[in-house]
Amino acid sequence: MTPFTQRVISVIAGIPPGTVMTYGQIAAQAGSPRGARQVVRILHSMSGKHGLPWHRVINGKGEIAIGQDEGRFLQRALLEEEGVYVSPAGIINLEQYRFEPYEPND
């Protein structure tokens, strides 16, 4: 497993209930600001194995980005169960629900 993959898994695992992060935000936190597509692949292939809260990851527009109806419904249900409001169009207010990990100043 690459160091980037390990960092992505760590960032996703650290998203608290009731909050979301975007693919791009996770990539930047893991050290590759342009690696959002890699985050998608990592999340898809490793979320089950590592028990990641995949439902807390959305696209940069605040949208549920899963293409399958069943997956979209499940993601919406899991987020709403945690208190995240998802609009009828599948959009989450990033200003309200985005998780911004604390980074101490060195």
Sequence spans of domains, the chain: 3-97
Instruction: For 42-81, write each residue's pLDDT tens digit.
Output: 998 998 899 999 999 999 999 987 766 778 899 999 999 9
Distance from C-alpha of 88 to C-alpha of 3, rounded to nearest angstrom? 38
Tell whether the model's pLDDT for residue 103 goes beyond 70: no
pLDDT tens by residue, 80-102 = 999 999 999 889 999 999 999 87
Cβ of 17: how many Cβ atoms within 10 Å? 12
* Cβ neighbour number for residue 92 with a 10 Å cutoff: 24
The reported pLDDT for the residue numbered 55 is 94
Nearest to 5 by CA among 55, 41, 49, 57: 41
Fold of the CATH domain 3-97: Arc Repressor Mutant, subunit A (1.10.10)
Is 26 in contact with 11 (CB distance < 8 Å)? yes
- Closest C-alpha to 78, from 25, 26, 11, 20: 20
